[in-house]
Amino acid sequence: EAGVAQSPRYKIIEKRQSVAFWCNPISGHATLYWYQQILGQGPKLLIQFQNNGVVDDSQLPKDRFSAERLKGVDSTLKIQPAKLEDSAVYLCASSLASREYEQYFGPGTRLTVT
């Protein structure tokens, strides 16, 4: 069974530029999550989707971050414009709707903002 796929794995941009990350969850997983993991910290949930609907985006900085999951499968997370403090690993995870306690994580995208 293929795992959660993310791309790109690494990205370096200058502040005020825009960037987008892509995630393809495990087939059949209705729930998709985006986390931000700053160096030395645990992951922090940014947004959670159930199919193509947003369940929780309370910690998403909506002035610069946006995410979508239009067809209820893959998802994109965008930052526009990026700030230095956005440097982090962005992790995507997915789970079955009936087993949300068991999240499967992708390898992450490491973003460096200079």
Q: Which residues bind other proteins (CB under 8 A)?
A: 3, 40-45, 48, 55-56, 89, 91, 93, 95, 100-108, 110
In angstroms, give the least distance from the CB of 16 to other proteins.
27
Nearer to other proteins, 10 or 18 (CB): 10
Nearer to other proteins, 81 or 107 (CB): 107
Specify the residue for token string 């795992």. 3
Distance CA 38, CA 36 (A): 6
Length of the chain: 114
Nearer to other proteins, 15 or 97 (CB): 97
Q: What is the DSSP string of 81-112?
A: S--GGG-EEEEEEEE-GGGTTS-EE---EEEE
